[in-house]
Amino acid sequence: MTTQIRLLLADDHPIVRRGLRAVLETEPDFTIVAEAATAEQAVSAAAAGDVDVVLMDLQFGDGMSGDQATAAILAQPGAPRVLVLTTYDSDADIIAAVEAGATGYLLKDAPPDELGAAVRAAAAGRSALAPTVAARLMNRMRSPSVALSRREIEVLDLVGQGLSNHDISKRLYLSQATVKSHLVHIYAKLGVDSRTAAVALATEHGILRR
Amino acid sequence: MTTQIRLLLADDHPIVRRGLRAVLETEPDFTIVAEAATAEQAVSAAAAGDVDVVLMDLQFGDGMSGDQATAAILAQPGAPRVLVLTTYDSDADIIAAVEAGATGYLLKDAPPDELGAAVRAAAAGRSALAPTVAARLMNRMRSPSVALSRREIEVLDLVGQGLSNHDISKRLYLSQATVKSHLVHIYAKLGVDSRTAAVALATEHGILRR
DNA sequence: GCCGTCATCGATCGAAAGGTGGAGCCGCGG
DNA sequence: CCGCGGCTCCACCTTTCGATCGATGACGGC
């Protein structure tokens, strides 16, 4: 017989927690030891120690985000595995979660049996990725990793807010020449030739927050 | 004693349906008569007739959207009430649902007891709005409703994808003059003076999809 | 010390975008 | 019927942006 897998559910939606509980409790080898409605609660519950796998949502209403909580949990000795379970699959979310050390990444529209399989995989240290997520990761590996510098992101963010070069130069205490220079570098790195295209691509790739 | 309230759950996430079922079945006067995993299923299930309240998600993976399904359901004689239950609260989603004739609008992070109260309110024909949703509606009433025409939205959408005026004119089989003309009107309606600012504002207000 | 990256600034020039004003067509409703 | 709003187009002008050169200093790794 297999050993029991002890689970922690971290999601800010009570309804989702109830649904997960209903789905997972039908499996005899799963035990739900705790629930967390905030990322902070998840971190302290995981620190208590008697957890094998954390089912972690990425979006919490306020406070710490799911990927931050994931990193905090995994930073502790004897940390459990973290299986990210979220509604949508933006590039930024995925890479943030993977970088934080998540063992797997599932979407909430996954069928229940797939969920159980992913939990067992995570408990065994194997990674479980939803197909669309895997595809996105491959995509990211193939494309030359677009690494903008901090300053460039700062400029591009203001561009995305609709500011002109002149506005940006005042906001950042720069000359317009510098702003333009940053933009030239940004365009080169992203392979585009206009501010709107740069913003569109950066948003799509999760470099910018909406 | 009160009469039974017959419910239809429409959500593409199995986990959410399980959670809703778990939460709502504890109420003695609720009966869940059907579930729907797509908007189309929801429409046909509601057409069957033995439903009082539909709990409707707005985001479905593909096919018909929740607000379209809401409109389709309410178009039929003897239609049930539709209570929208969704994860997030963009302006566009809210107005689309309200215009489609939804009786109430709840967020999934609502506590379970609030959900029960909203269902009873909907069954009685009273409307139930989450506080943040109500606030947004008030906000929209106050601010001059920024109604862009279909063509203007089409143009603005392409602008948001990073296309130049020339690209847009070719894509829509227009002259650049026409594109510029649409943009001038867009800027006037939104109170901005650049394409990036227009895209930023429109995205923020939910006029554009990300 | 040298090299690469980042950040800063400058000048110039053509292209794109924005501002202004006008015009014709069509459908819908008072 | 006639006005109004949406959609289409045109011309002219100003401003902004992007492209292409260039340059300097700071910082860190090899």
Cβ-Cβ contacts under 8 Å, A18 against chain B: 18-20, 22-23, 112
All structural domains of chain A, each given as residue ranges with its CATH number in brackets, are: 5-142 (3.40.50.2300), 150-204 (1.10.10.10)
In chain B, the DSSP E strands lie at 5-10, 30-36, 53-56, 81-86, 104-107, 128-129
| Residue, of A144 and B66, whose pLDDT is higher | B66
Smallest CA–CA distance from A107 into chain B, residue: B13
Range with lowest mean pLDDT among A110-119, A121-130, B96-105, B179-188: B96-105
Among residues A173, A171, A101, A88, which one has the least CA distance to residue A136? A88
Q: Write down the pLDDT at residue B91.
A: 65
Is the pLDDT higher at A2 or at B120?
B120
The answer for A 71-90 residues in CB contact with B (under 8 A) is 87
At B48 the pLDDT is 83
pLDDT at residue A147 tops 60 = yes
Q: Which residue has the higher pLDDT, B62 or A72?
A: A72
The residue among B196, B170, B169, B171 whose CA lies nearest residue B181 is B169
Other beta carbons within 10 angstroms of residue B63's beta carbon come to 12
Mean residue pLDDT of chain A comes to 85
Chain B, 171 to 190: residues with Cβ < 8 Å from chain A are: none
Per-residue model confidence as pLDDT tens digits over B114-165: 888 999 998 998 888 887 777 766 655 545 456 788 888 999 999 999 999 9
B109 to A14: CB separation less than 8 angstroms, yes or no? yes
Residues (151-180, chain A) with CB within 7 Å of strand C atoms: 151-152, 172, 174-175, 177-178, 180
Residues A159-184 have a mean pLDDT of 94
Instruction: Give, in Å, how far the C1' of C8 lies from the CA of B195.
Output: 28
Chain B residues touching residue A15 (CB < 8 angstroms): 16, 19-20, 23, 108, 112, 115
Please say whether the beta carbons of A71 and A44 come within 8 A. Answer: no
The mean pLDDT value for A12-41 works out to: 91
B17–A21 C-beta distance less than 8 A: no
| DSSP string of A2-19, one letter each residue | PPPEEEEEE-S-HHHHHH
Can you give the distance from the CA of residue A189 to the C1' of nucleotide D21 in angstroms? Answer: 19
Q: Which of residues 64-93 of B touch strand C (CB under 7 A)?
A: none
Chain B nearest-CA residue for A163 = B197
Question: What digits encode the pLDDT tens for the residues A80-133?
Answer: 999 998 887 666 677 778 777 888 888 888 888 888 889 999 899 888 887 777
Q: Which residues 22-51 in chain B show a CB within 8 A of chain A?
A: 22-23
Residues of A in contact with B164 (CB under 8 A): 194
The pLDDT confidence band at residue A2, using thresholds 50, 70 and 90, is low
What span, in angstroms and rounded, lies between the C-alpha atoms of B69 and B106? 17
**Which residue of chain B comes nearest to A21, CA vs CA?**
B19
Question: Between these two residues, B196 and B107, which has the higher pLDDT value?
Answer: B196
* ipTM reported for the complex, 2 dp: 0.70
